Amino acid sequence: MTKNDAGAGAANRRLAGQCLCEAVAYEVEDAFEYAFNCHCSQCRRATGSAYKAMAGIRRDALSVTKGTDRLLTYGDEMNHDVRCGTCGSFLFSVVREGEYIHVSLGSLMDEPSLKPTQHIYVGSKAPWHTITDDLPQFDEL
């Protein structure tokens, strides 16, 4: 599905996201360009889960609406993960040399129009996890 398939109203729609303790909140356009489940070891360690469900969008499409002073970043200025500094919830990653955001879909309060369309890095997925859906699987990106 492309962002055009999501419907004309989706691009104007804003999705709300927040951390577990509600100290940090953000809004993002419902105009994700891609979405996938990443099974690489870095995403698994960052999330503490079998994979990271994420969706990508230009960086300027997301704005932190609450708790800017509570943000905790890991990485450098151009590529980093963003968490709540109070509860540790993983919110999003700044990627692709600072041009894009990968929103952690689990931090969204609203349902996005675009759902994950594939599994990536399944060549290094957790050996204890079995993928049970019919989405395409790729050993790498």
Structure tokens at 130: 């079995």
pLDDT at 11: 56
Range list of β-strands (E), 19-86: 25-29, 34-38, 52-58, 62-66, 71-75, 80-84
Question: How many other C-beta atoms lie within 10 A of the C-beta of residue 106?
Answer: 14
pLDDT at 10: 58
Confidence band of 77 (pLDDT split at 50, 70, 90)? confident
Instruction: Decide if domain 14-124 falls under CATH 2.170.150.70.
Output: yes
DSSP character at residue 111: -
pLDDT in tens, 16-57: 999 999 999 999 999 999 999 999 999 999 999 999 999 999
For residues 121 and 42, what is the distance between their CA atoms, to the nearest angstrom? Answer: 10
CA dihedral for 120, 123, 124, 126, sign (positive or negative): positive
pLDDT in tens, 118-138: 999 999 999 999 999 999 999
Whose CA is closest to 39, among 134, 123, 128, 135?
A: 123
